[in-house]
């Protein structure tokens, strides 16, 4: 089973898991049967992808997360199980949200639910932005990324909301997980808020 066959509808599926690690963790916006908090191995989450639609524009792109391959890394998020007609509906919606407007491609990964004592994996589809994407911004310091996020806004809302909601999810649903990349950018962005408010 290949991701492109799933997206193209060439594979007849009655059930599919979709892994979210960014805005999907708090705003899936598609119908699903169940959801589970858990993690995937081999990837680290980074604010290295540009967004000129949802959280920015062509002149001032926002920063959103993508996944970078790293054998020693683990990324926490939420997997959503879609069944029956939900499969096609979710894929159609996500193709527009993530692929057309976001520039993401699809991959299949092994998802491990947090509450599964047997560590039984579930194959899940995820959307990922690669370095060859024109919107890819790459690494920068927490201060630079925090400044970009604090000053960007797109059709879906302010880039800062995206950052704060993701940080809130990690603290509330994954309190045992340390995410220095995420939390250092959050601190850098929040430090700028008083100055930005004063400039208005």
So which residues are the catalytic ones? 98
173, HSE (Cβ side, Cα atoms, 13 Å)? 20
Spatial CB neighbours of 156, under 8 Å, sequence gap ≥ 6: 53, 54, 55
With beta carbons less than 8 A apart as the criterion, state whether 62 and 157 touch: no
- Using CB atoms within 10 A of its CB, is residue 198 exposed (0-12), middle (13-18) or buried (19+)? exposed
């Amino acid at each position: 089973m290949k991701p492109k066959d799933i997206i193209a509808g060439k594979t007849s599926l009655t059930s599919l898991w979709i892994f979210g690690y960014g805005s999907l963790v708090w705003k899936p916006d598609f119908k699903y049967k169940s959801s589970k908090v858990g993690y995937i191995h081999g990837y680290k989450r980074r604010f290295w992808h540009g967004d000129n639609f949802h959280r920015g524009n062509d002149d001032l792109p926002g920063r959103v997360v993508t996944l970078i391959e790293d054998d020693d890394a683990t990324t926490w998020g939420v997997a959503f199980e879609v069944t029956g007609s939900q499969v096609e509906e979710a894929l159609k919606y996500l193709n527009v949200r993530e692929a057309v407007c976001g520039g993401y491609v699809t991959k299949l990964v092994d998802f491990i639910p947090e509450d599964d004592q047997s560590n039984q994996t579930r194959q899940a589809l995820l959307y990922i932005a690669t370095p060859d994407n024109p919107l890819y911004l790459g690494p920068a310091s927490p201060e630079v990324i925090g400044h970009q996020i604090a000053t960007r806004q797109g059709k879906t809302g302010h880039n800062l909301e995206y950052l704060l909601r993701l940080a809130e999810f990690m603290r509330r649903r994954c309190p045992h997980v340390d995410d220095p990349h995420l939390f250092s950018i959050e601190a850098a962005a929040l430090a700028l808020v008083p100055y930005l408010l004063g400039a208005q």
